[in-house]
Structure 1
Amino acid sequence: MVRQKETIVHTKSACARSLAGVRDALYVLNGKWKLPIIIALSEGPLRFKDLQRRVEGITPKLLSKELKELEQNEFVVRHVYPQIPVLIEYELTEYSNSLDDIIEAMADWGLQHRARIQSR
């Protein structure tokens, strides 16, 4: 599937390419927590507990797992400051800005979908 000036052209290779891209994106951003973590960090660096408070409902174990995966995929960087007690902060990388349009589009679609379902 290739977009050409608002027209979608369906070819076998274009659809396979689109499907591969969507699978890759879903693999990296899978689950219900990664995007909320990224959105919470968009306001600036946060310590673990502050991040956990902002992402309501996530357990410490799951937050730790998700942060490690976001680090591996270069969306988040972990800063360790050698002081007593040790200060650790999480911050978005420059690369995470590549998700801005996607997050905005998902938010817009989600609001439209909610309105559609509620208007039934």
Structure 2
Amino acid sequence: MVEIKKRRVLLIFMAIIIITVVITPVIYVQVNKYKYADRVTNYLLEEEKYSREEIESVKGVWGKKLPSFYTLVIFKDEPYVEYVYFAHSEIIQFDYRLTEEGEEKGVAKSKLKHYVPHN
């Protein structure tokens, strides 16, 4: 009887460890994606003086390359462009990406309304 209780306790302990090892990285990624998106949103609203109505979406992304986290911003007046922001020590617009539709429409870099090349 005591042996069965020890096995149950051991199994419960092992299950807790396995769940923790699996869930912790998932939570870490989700929290950081949210944190980076929130920082960029605040930056756009407070420092760059955009209104919420001008912004279509702000999405935190976990990438496979460095830096691990970045943010994609789409403005309502340029739905075919994803602007890439880094929000590590300071917030900078790093680059932009055209969606497939943007490439098909021939959207030109010179016509981008929100592109601010970094130095």
TM-score by length of 1: 0.28
User: Which is richer in helix?
Assistant: 1
1 or 2 for the larger relative contact order (CA 8 Å, sep ≥6)?
A: 1
Higher radius of gyration, 1 or 2: 2
